[in-house]
Amino acid sequence: MCTYINEKARIFGSAKGPSGWVKVDTANVYFDHPYHAPLDHALGIDFVDESSGSPQRVAVEISAESARRLVAKILAALESGEAAHAIEPEPTEMALDVR
């Protein structure tokens, strides 16, 4: 079923699309029929800059299994990377209301 279920994460950073690097402040995350990936359902993420109202987005559609692998690798990279750099999360990040 096509749904409108959408998990919205506030983020801080940049993404690179067809026109180059852009600021992004939101990741819209959903699990639904993909547009391009040859799957019945896919985990989709749209990186956008909601505050500017820009129509640009950087999008991915990946399988559920891929998404779970990606989540694990993101957490692993964060853990080892923050340890290697001996850093704490930046204040900008801590000020964000991450839902």
Positions touching another protein (CB under 8 A) are 1-4, 6, 8, 26, 28, 30, 32-33, 35-36, 38-40, 46, 48, 50, 55, 57, 59
Beta-carbon contacts of 24 under 8 Å, excluding residues fewer than 6 positions away, are 11, 13, 14, 15, 47, 48, 49, 58
First to last CA, the chain: 25
Least distance in angstroms from the C-beta of 55 to another protein: 6
Minimum Å gap between C-beta 72 and another protein is: 25
For another protein, the closer of residues 4 and 87 by Cβ is: 4
Q: How far apart are CA 43 and CA 41, in angstroms?
A: 7
The least distance separating another protein from the CB of residue 69, rounded to whole angstroms, comes to 20
